[in-house]
Amino acid sequence: MKQLGHLQEYTLTLTTKAPVFVGSGVVYGKMDYIFDAARKTVSFIDQTQFFQLLIDRDLIDKYESFILNKRSTENKRPTENEHPTDTIQYFLKNICKLDAKTINSLIVNRVSAADALDENHSLQKIQAFIRRADGRAYIPGSSLKGCLRTVLLTNMLLRDSNKAEPINIKQLESKYLHTLQITNKQSDMVNSIMRGISISDSEPIDEKNMILASKIDSFPDGFENRINVVRQCIAPEIKITFRMTLDQNILSSANILTELREAIRAFDAFYIQEYNSYFAIKKEFEDLFRDDFIVLGGGSGFFAKNLIYPFYAPNHAKAVKTVSQSMQRSFKKHKHEKDIEYGISPHTFKITEFDRFAYPIGLCQVTIQ
């Protein structure tokens, strides 16, 4: 810890225990990347350079013709041992007759695909990881701070035996986080203890630590449903550092660091008891949940991001009923009427695979020094 006047600066380190995905909203299609089946890598194309090459080499007409033909055959799957003909790889190599050096000059970054893609089937769209202006992957400090806010609120709810229905997130924030009494109106954001916590964006993540990971829904009975989704993720066992600054002029007597550490442990115990225990959790997962952890990023599931379960705790059945009814209204085809029978809602545990190992997506060990 560094003391800089009224500011206390800590190093917060996340160690990914599973693939972690923080999405940018960008989705890559088959014309945006090259899949090398032999090396199991995906190389992403710099679209600006690609279109400049089309102009410089007078290939625009060929590209337009290729795209029109691609649309007419895009639902056709290649037979076994037949390479796809609707990819940028095929266009550059077979139609434009470009050499390997020229094709490589278009590549902006390359990641391990492991088992996420299969050349003998339709190559999938890839959800992109968030990146800085210079193209390097990172985790925004706002994403981590939002996660820690949920962890703090979870612990505060679990300690409160006098919670009034109906659940209202803004009122919960006012009650538990807006405790600074700077103004007389508790709902004012200026009263929030979160104002005294600043978290930097992470250090850039080395491209060699980026992978592709598939999406799998695991059910309480152990059945797994593989979803046609592939994401750019940070690989397991990667350390990611942030600066966490506590402003004591704002926090004054609040011992937020102790509160945060206690909250992480309370969240972990609650997560394991009220969520994990309702699924046929793989044995290889058990060690992953032993250290202080948080569940971060997209695709990691409803439970870690929502406050309904801690609000109704210890009445687990009421929480399940409340969530199930909400899910039935929002996702009519997902059979959430079965959630009561399963004892958990939603009734899927979000996992992924990388290098033939299964992981609970988004799991990170956290240390603060």
**223 and 248 share one domain:** yes
Other beta carbons within 10 Å of 283: 6
With respect to residue 245, please indicate whether it lies within any of the assigned structural domains.
yes
Bridge partners of residue 245, in order along the sequence: 9, 198
Residue 99 shares a structural domain with residue 162: no
Question: What's the pLDDT tens digit per position in 3-51?
Answer: 888 899 999 999 999 999 999 999 998 889 999 888 889 999 999 999 9
Q: Is residue 366 part of a domain?
A: no
3-class secondary-structure state, position 28:
strand
Answer yes or no: is 359 within a domain.
no
Phi-psi region of 97 (alpha: psi -120 to 50; beta: other; left: phi over 0): left
Q: Is residue 148 assigned to a domain?
A: yes
Do residues 278 and 148 share a domain?
yes
CB neighbours (10 Å) of residue 286? 11
Quick: pLDDT tens for 54-96.
999 999 999 999 988 875 555 555 454 455 678 899 999 999 9
Cα–Cα distance measured from residue 364 to residue 289, given in angstroms and rounded to the nearest whole number: 9
148 with 255, same domain: the answer is: yes
318 and 198, same domain (yes or no): yes
**Residue 200: predicted pLDDT:** 98
* DSSP conformation letters of 120-171: TSPPPPEEEEPB-TTS-B---HHHHHHHHHHHHHHHHHHH-S-PPSSP-HHH
Q: Is residue 296 part of a domain?
A: yes
Question: Of 67, 91, 124, which residue is a domain's last?
Answer: 124
7-23 burial, b if ≥16 CB within 10 A, otherwise e?
ebebebbbbbbbbbbbe
11 within a domain of the structure (yes/no): yes
Give the lowest-confidence range in 72-86, 151-165, 190-204.
Answer: 72-86
Indicate the number of domains in the chain. 2
Question: In terms of domains, do 145 and 268 share one?
Answer: yes
**Rounded average pLDDT over 320-325:** 94
Residue pair 362/16 in contact by the 8 Å Cβ criterion: no
Look at residue 314 and tell me if it is in a domain.
Answer: yes
The boundaries of the domain holding residue 335 are: 2-24+138-354
- What is the mean predicted confidence (pLDDT) over 249-271? 89
Contact indicator for 367, 292 with CB cutoff of 8 Å: yes
Tell me the angle at which helices 169-176 and 141-159 cross, rounded to the nearest 10 degrees: 80
Q: Is residue 152 part of a domain?
A: yes
Looking at the structure, do residues 110 and 209 belong to the same domain, yes or no?
no
User: Are 82 and 146 contained in the same domain?
Assistant: no
